[in-house]
Amino acid sequence: MDKRDGIFSPAGVVVDLGAAPGGWSQLALKRVGKAGAVIAIDCLEMEPISGVEFIQDDFTEQSGLQAVEQALAGREVDVVLSDMAPNLSGHAAIDQPAAIYLAELAADFARQRLSKTGCFLVKMFQGEGFDQFRAQLLRDFNKVITRKPEASRSASRECYLLAREPVL
C-alpha cells in the first residue's frame, strides 16, 4: 500500500495504534528515516525496535492517550496507522461493533492530531457499521480510498481505509 499510495514521507511523524507485533512500525521507520519519528502503542508486549518509541498501554484508556500525547510533545502527526483489533469472541454481533468502536477512536485521534496533508490508515472488517464509518471519513477527509491487502484472503472481509487531508 505504501508503494502504491505513498503513505510515508522522509522525516515524517507516525503514530502506530495497536502496533504489536511491530510490522507497520518497522516499515514506517524505514520510510521516515532517522529524521522522522515513530511512536507505537499497544496493550500487548512488543519486541523493541531501535528507533521506535514504544508505549505499552491501552490506547482506549486515558493513560494510553496521555502517553502518546506526551511522546508527541506537541508535534503534528503526518500518519496515523490503526491496526487495533478487539479480542474476538467469534460472534459478529459483538466483534463488529467493537472493531468499529476502535476505528472511531483512532479516527477521532487522527482528526485532532494530523497535519493538513496527513493521512489516516485504518484496518477494518466490512460488515455492520462499515458504510457509516466510511461515510463519516468522507465528510472529515478530502480523499478516502478502500484498499484490500494482497496478503488478505479473497474471502476475508478485511480491508484498509486510507483517508487523506483532514478537513479542518
Catalytic residues: 123
Q: What is the largest CA-CA distance in the chain?
A: 44
Cβ(24)–Cβ(48) below 8 Å: no
Cβ(78)–Cβ(12) below 8 Å: yes
